[in-house]
Amino acid sequence: MNEYCYWCGTRANSKFCEQCGIDTDPPADVYFLDEECGDCSAKLPRWARYCPKCGRRFGVYDPSDPKNQKEHNRGLAWGAAFWSVVIVIAAILIPTRVGMAAFKYTIPAAAVLLAASWAISLSRREQGTFVDGTVTRLYTEDEIHRERVAYETARTGRRVYHQVPVTVYCTAVRWDDGKEDVIRRDCIAADHIQLRVGDRLRLFKAKQRYQKL
């Protein structure tokens, strides 16, 4: 049993918070982000505003905060720089191995990849934009996924596939700009545990991450 409600911070006396109604002791599914409290290192449920063990209050991500923007954009720039180096090295190494004529192909290919990697970084720059929306429907879909079994090979040497039944947890959202989305998660019930129809969500566009409001 947790000490505090991770959503509103009141002392938790029962499984469902008396103040806000949230499940104060949610199943492991809700903890899949692997975040920890900086004070007591308790594992935190997704979107936690308070530590469920020590009651510490956390700040909510603010995309308009210059510090957050700087951090996010610096990470992107480092990522793009890393891939640029990898691409350039490959474009030089491949021709020296397979014959200098290969430069004719590797240089244009490298140029395209460099442009693409920087374009992706630019498009993901944090500019403080987000959109809010309302959960309109929660439903599940049953799908059959075809998964290869690595350790099993048929006597004929062919690969073996299994038909795996998968539950897809779908959350339909109508964003305030009029667009609609269905967030789909295979086998992860976290959204259905934490959200109800009518709940408000915020989507941070640069991070492509959403959270309950």
One-character DSSP codes across 137-189 = EEEEEEEEEEEEEEEEE-TTS-EEEEEEEEEEEEEEEEETTS-EEEEEEES--
Looking at the Cβ atoms of 3 and 181, the one nearer to Zn ion is: 3
Position 39 contacts Zn ion (CB under 5 A): yes
Looking at the Cβ atoms of 21 and 75, the one nearer to Zn ion is: 21
Per DSSP, the three-state class of 36 is strand
Rounded Cα gap, residues 183 and 168, in angstroms: 10
Site pattern 51..70 for Zn ion (x: CB under 5 A):
x-xx-x--------------
Tracing tokens 């990697």 back to the chain, one arrives at: 117
Looking at the Cβ atoms of 18 and 186, the one nearer to Zn ion is: 18
Looking at the Cβ atoms of 53 and 207, the one nearer to Zn ion is: 53
Closest contact distance (angstroms) between CB of 203 and Zn ion is 24
Burial of 45 (0-12, 13-18, 19+ CB in 10 A): buried
Query: Which residues, numbered 111-150, are part of the site for Zn ion (CB under 5 A)?
Result: none
Position 80 contacts Zn ion (CB under 5 A): no
Query: Which residues, numbered 4-33, are part of the site for Zn ion (CB under 5 A)?
Result: 5, 7-8, 17, 19-20
- Could you say which of 37, 110, 203, 206 contacts Zn ion (CB under 5 A)? 37
Rounded Cα gap, residues 180 and 182, in angstroms: 7
Position 167 contacts Zn ion (CB under 5 A): no
Per DSSP, the three-state class of 102 is helix
Closest contact distance (angstroms) between CB of 19 and Zn ion is 4
Encode burial over 69-96: b for 16+ CB neighbours within 10 A, e otherwise.
beebbeebeeebeebeeebeeebeebbe
Closest contact distance (angstroms) between CB of 33 and Zn ion is 15
Closest contact distance (angstroms) between CB of 53 and Zn ion is 5
Closest contact distance (angstroms) between CB of 2 and Zn ion is 10
Question: Which residues make up the interface to Zn ion (CB under 5 A)?
Answer: 5, 7-8, 17, 19-20, 37, 39-40, 42, 51, 53-54, 56
